[in-house]
Structure 1
Amino acid sequence: MRAHPMAGDSLIAVLLMLFDLLVLVADGISDEPALKPWYVAVPLDLTLMVLLIFRRKSPLWSAYLIVVVGNVHALLTLGASGAVALGVSLYSVLVYVGRRQGLIYLIALTVISVVEFSVQQPTDLVLQIVLTVFPAALIWMLGEFVGARRAYHVEVEARLHLLETERDQATRLAVGEERGRIARELHDVVAHAVSVMVVQADGASYALKSNPEMAERALHTISDTGRGALNELRRLLDVLRNDHGDSEPRVPQPDAHALADLADRMRAAGVPVRLEIGELGDLPAGVSLGVYRIVQESLTNTLKHAGQGATAEVRVHRTGDTVEVRVSDDGAGRANELVPANGPRPATPRTATARVAVPGGNGLIGMRERAHVFGGSLDVGPAPGGGWQVRATLPVRLST
């Protein structure tokens, strides 16, 4: 009946009509018939049946039509379906329309009933009113109970729909954040690998005739770097292509413990790296990955911009709840003279380099974002003695 309300109402209406027809047939075969003829009773019963079928679709107009037809049915004493239909219509108005319209309908029913009783049986008026008010009160209580339950279910369904919407929105935001992180990973992988390959290719072209062994080592480095980059790119692209992320096995992300391997690869690429790592303890996975990516991007910039003959130094230390990362290079021995970024520029030789605000490309933006997302800081700029330096500070305990 809940799934098909009109079918349930049709069943109720048919049962009421069958009951009245049985009463009509029993009265017809008796010796002294008391009911009206069938051609009067049957049309009224059919009308009540149709109105009851539409009591949920259009509760108001069907209820007031039932008042007219039901009272005629009761005045002609054609059976009990008229009184039952009036009670069902009161219940329908209260539940499906509202308490205010239900009260108006109840007052109208009471007034009409009092007028009928006063005309038909004025001596038993008080008894008839009591017999009318008592069933109406029971129907009102039932309607209030069912209406409250319906309102509760509607509110629960609305809240569930809101929760599902919020969950879907949170899922979309999480997917967007994850794809942004993957985009940063792609940039780090491509920038590092391509920089190493370009430098090694240039070195191999210069050493091809004079030092074939060095050129061969450079080509091997290019091959290994390219294969490693392709493997990591495939893994990241598989994550982007697979929304569910359950078709391919996952490999662990690099962390601070992989800095030694990174330094070895940079040395093989032609940049001497001095690595100094203190006792880091158990770092959160995100912080450890951020340390690795900041060092990787810094060394990649050294390889691309410092020039041939530059050396780099990496220091990673933990002090309490803070990890400090320092990456510096000597810029192949070229010194930079520093001046205030916003102050007047003094007269200096043309070779002097002024300290200016460094907005940075995608690499520097990615490093800043990795530092800031964990509540840390990043300072990037020319070193006083020449070269370039990167200093990042990341908290170990993430705020919740």
Structure 2
Amino acid sequence: MQEAAAWSRPSPDRTGYRADLGLALLFALASVTTALLYSRTGVYPEPAPLWVCILGLGLATLPLALRRKYPVPVALAVAIGFVICGQFGVPEVLIINMTLFCALYTVGAWERRRALAVWARIGIGVGMISWLVVTLIIASSEEDAFPGFSRSGIFSAFATYAVIQIITNLLYFAGAYFFGERSWRAARSQAQLEAQGRELELERQTSAAQAVALDRLAIARELHDVVAHHVSVMGIQAGAARRSIERDPERAAAALQVVEESAATAVDELRALVGTLRDPAKDASAPSTIGVANLSTLVIESQSSGTPATLIVAGTPRPVPMLIDVALYRVVQEALTNVRKHAGRGAAAEVRLRFGPDAVEVEITDDGVRQGLAPRVAGSGLGLRGMRERIGAVGGTVSAGRRERGGFMVRASVPSASGASTSSASGSANIGPLPALAHAALTPHPERLA
């Protein structure tokens, strides 16, 4: 209600004012024409002088050129012109009734001060009807007025005529009031709808910008996971090949083979990512080629790059929703990459995959830097942030920090209830037997989720 009361109808533009001027001139021309026609009929035996006709018709028509700029003053001027025409016998009835109605309608439709609009119409209406009643009373005592109309009795012909005139004028002013108010409310409703439309459009643009930002963030995470992991492997193996190419060519060749395989894998994953970006519908339902079933491959790559790693699986493997499957895989991939980059030479990693009754969890730990070696290199923190965003998107949590006995630990846990809610939309990854590793890399363990 407060917004409705505060709303103010905007003024028309130049085209609107030109239209009002044209309407006023059209009414003025029409009133002159009808006045000449009425004079010809002889209905007015003693018409008003010419200057009175010009004054009355001018006031009743020409002010309408400013009707939407000054509604109340225009209505008062038109009402005065109407009274002059009626009181002094200007031979015109049709057009001046139309102009008065238009002026009163404009007050209701365009006057911004609503209280003034209400009282101005009521005042003009009461004044005009009072003038009509007084005129009828005076006419009732004049025998020459309305000849042939009986004046005897309450329901005489003249009394009936007077009642009809009063009812007609009441309907006339009530109609002008009603249609003016209706126009004002319709304009206010239209303005509110347009404002809501602008707000919705702004929200749509904001949502679109947020969606683009989220997509860019997801792409950045994927690129970070793919590039950081494989490039770190290639960098370590390339360095090992450079140092051993003269002393141990076979070892150098093996390291270069790892570089070649990592490069090929990185290219394949990047090609798949770019293909998804080009045609999302094409790959939306395609099964993911990575997941917790491929953790053993990550462990083998870590061992090949010179970082000892062990995979331990606890609990009974079960189907995991695809989004969770990929998220857990990426956490392990990023954590092992961080071990290679920051834990220093000689650090060993341990990957634990736990299937608990209420959650699926991965834990990646390393034993830190051995005594006498270089200290751990500090990272930018983007990797951990990406882990938290990825796991948080599927309803899980990530914790990371230094261990009391040395080294670093990353733990990601996703509740089974969260997985159930996303499985219908994303599909499930069927977790079969994990690929066999060397005995030193895969160690059975009876551990359960605490």
Q: Tell me, yes or no, if the aligned pair for 1:71 and 1:82 is still in contact at 8 Å.
A: no
1:279 Cα deviation from its structure 2 partner: 1.7
**Change in 2 beyond 3 A, CA 1:330/1:110:** closer
Distance 1:230 1:68 in 2: 89
Per the alignment, residue 382 of structure 1 pairs with: 403
- Scaled by the length of structure 2, the TM-score of the pair is 0.67
Per the alignment, residue 228 of structure 2 pairs with: 191
Distance 2:79 2:274 in 1: 71
Per the alignment, residue 302 of structure 2 pairs with: 266
Per the alignment, residue 417 of structure 2 pairs with: 397
Per the alignment, residue 102 of structure 1 pairs with: 117
Q: Tell me, yes or no, if the aligned pair for 2:59 and 2:77 is still in contact at 8 Å.
A: no
Per the alignment, residue 382 of structure 2 pairs with: 362
Where do 1:218-297 residues align within 5 Å? 218-226=255-263, 228-229=265-266, 254-277=290-313, 278-283=316-321, 285=323, 287-297=324-334
Q: Tell me, yes or no, if the aligned pair for 2:38 and 2:44 is still in contact at 8 Å.
A: yes
Per the alignment, residue 78 of structure 1 pairs with: 92
Q: Would you say 1:173 and 2:173 are equivalent positions? A: no
* Structure 2 counterpart of 1:26, one-letter code: L
Q: Tell me, yes or no, if the aligned pair for 1:327 and 1:391 is still in contact at 8 Å.
A: yes
Q: Would you say 1:113 and 2:139 are equivalent positions? A: no
Q: Tell me, yes or no, if the aligned pair for 2:35 and 2:91 is still in contact at 8 Å.
A: no
1:112 Cα deviation from its structure 2 partner: 3.5
Per the alignment, residue 150 of structure 2 pairs with: none
**Change in 2 beyond 3 A, CA 1:397/1:41:** farther
- Scaled by the length of structure 1, the TM-score of the pair is 0.74
Q: Tell me, yes or no, if the aligned pair for 2:55 and 2:81 is still in contact at 8 Å.
A: no
Task: Choose from 31, 45, 59 the match for 1:20.
Answer: 31
Structure 1 unmatched ranges of 5 or more: 336-349
Q: Tell me, yes or no, if the aligned pair for 2:59 and 2:80 is still in contact at 8 Å.
A: no
Kindly report the root-mean-square deviation, in angstroms, between the aligned alpha carbons of the 2 structures.
Answer: 4.3
Match of 2:81, SS state, is helix
Task: Choose from 193, 198, 203 the match for 1:161.
Answer: 198
RCO higher in structure (CA 8 A, sep ≥6): 2
Distance 2:327 2:23 in 1: 70
Deviations 1:234-293 (A, max 9, x none): 887899xx9xx76997687644344344334334433344334552413251x3332122
Distance 2:58 2:264 in 1: 84
**Change in 2 beyond 3 A, CA 1:161/1:211:** same
Task: Choose from 53, 60, 76 the match for 1:64.
Answer: 76
* Structure 2 counterpart of 1:382, one-letter code: R
1:17 Cα deviation from its structure 2 partner: 4.4
**Change in 2 beyond 3 A, CA 1:217/1:48:** farther
Q: Tell me, yes or no, if the aligned pair for 1:74 and 1:83 is still in contact at 8 Å.
A: no
Distance 1:53 1:262 in 2: 84
Per the alignment, residue 344 of structure 1 pairs with: none
Where do 1:289-308 residues align within 5 Å? 289-308=326-345
Distance 2:98 2:389 in 1: 73
Distance 2:101 2:129 in 1: 16
1:299 Cα deviation from its structure 2 partner: 0.8
Deviations 1:94-136 (A, max 9, x none): 2222642232112331354256446655435964554432311
Q: Tell me, yes or no, if the aligned pair for 1:322 and 1:393 is still in contact at 8 Å.
A: yes
**Change in 2 beyond 3 A, CA 1:88/1:324:** same
Percent identity over the alignment is: 30
Q: Tell me, yes or no, if the aligned pair for 1:380 and 1:390 is still in contact at 8 Å.
A: yes
Match of 2:320, SS state, is coil
- Residue-pair matches, total: 374
Q: Tell me, yes or no, if the aligned pair for 1:67 and 1:109 is still in contact at 8 Å.
A: yes
Deviations 1:176-209 (A, max 9, x none): 3333333333433333233212211111111211
Deviations 1:143-175 (A, max 9, x none): 334444433333333333333333332333333
Q: Would you say 1:206 and 2:243 are equivalent positions? A: yes
**Change in 2 beyond 3 A, CA 1:275/1:135:** same
**Change in 2 beyond 3 A, CA 1:301/1:324:** same
Match of 1:210, SS state, is coil
**Change in 2 beyond 3 A, CA 1:362/1:103:** closer
